[in-house]
């Protein structure tokens, strides 16, 4: 099944050679495309090992691997727009927990997934590592979301 030009028309970033990276938090840069398999439950995983943000108090950089897992609903996130969106956090001052929840909520709003989870594996600073985890499940996946939330405690 080939995608139609109409389906691909809204994806403005894909295929552009050079793109300026956003210098501030930019949720508007996220793009999505229709799920061609809405009857299937399947998992999509993104592993983003070069995430950076700033401590809102000290302005020191924080480094993390962000792992995003989701079961698509009607739409999927386009990966180049996701990359640029995650880069938009580089000059954004927020605590680790806020970054992870913001990413989850922005993607949830964009795609309306059946299930989504975002985990941040932040590099230790000051001798403490922080691994925030946020997730959401629709009616079908509500129990799984609760189980995954508490399973994440073992990291």
Q: What would the pLDDT profile of 42-99 be if each residue is shown by its tens digit?
A: 999 999 999 999 999 999 999 999 999 999 999 999 999 999 999 999 999 999 999 9
Domain extent listing, the chain? 24-145
Q: What is the pLDDT of residues 1-54, one digit of tens each?
A: 666 666 666 666 655 656 677 888 999 999 999 999 999 999 999 999 999 999
65 φ, ψ (degrees, to nearest 5): -100, 125
Name the catalytic one among 48, 55, 94, 138. 55
Provide the strand spans (E) within 1-91: 32-34, 44-54, 61-71, 75-77
Name the catalytic one among 41, 48, 62, 151. 62
Q: What is the pTM of this model?
A: 0.86
Q: Is 62 designated active site?
A: yes
User: Closest Cα partner for 141 from 7, 32, 41, 38?
Assistant: 41
CATH for the 24-145 domain, from 3.40.50.740, 3.30.1130.10, 1.10.1740.10, 1.10.10.10: 3.30.1130.10
Give SS3 for 77.
strand
Give the largest CA-CA distance in the chain.
51
Q: How far apart are CA 146 and CA 2, in angstroms?
A: 37
Q: Is 48 designated active site?
A: no
């Amino acid at each position: 099944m080939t995608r139609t030009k109409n389906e691909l028309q809204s994806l403005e970033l894909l295929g552009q050679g050079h793109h300026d990276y956003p210098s501030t938090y930019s949720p508007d840069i996220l793009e999505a495309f229709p799920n061609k398999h809405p009857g299937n439950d399947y998992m999509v995983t993104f592993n983003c090992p070069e995430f950076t943000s700033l401590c809102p108090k000290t302005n020191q950089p924080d480094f993390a691997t962000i792992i995003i897992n989701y079961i698509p609903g009607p739409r999927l996130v386009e990966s180049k727009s996701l990359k640029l969106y995650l880069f938009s956090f580089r000059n954004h001052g927020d605590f680790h927990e806020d970054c992870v929840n913001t990413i989850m909520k922005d993607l949830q709003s964009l795609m309306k997934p059946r299930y989504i989870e975002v985990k941040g594996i932040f590099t230790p600073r000051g001798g403490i590592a922080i691994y925030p985890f946020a997730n959401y499940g629709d009616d079908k996946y509500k129990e799984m979301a609760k189980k995954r939330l508490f399973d994440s405690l073992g990291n």
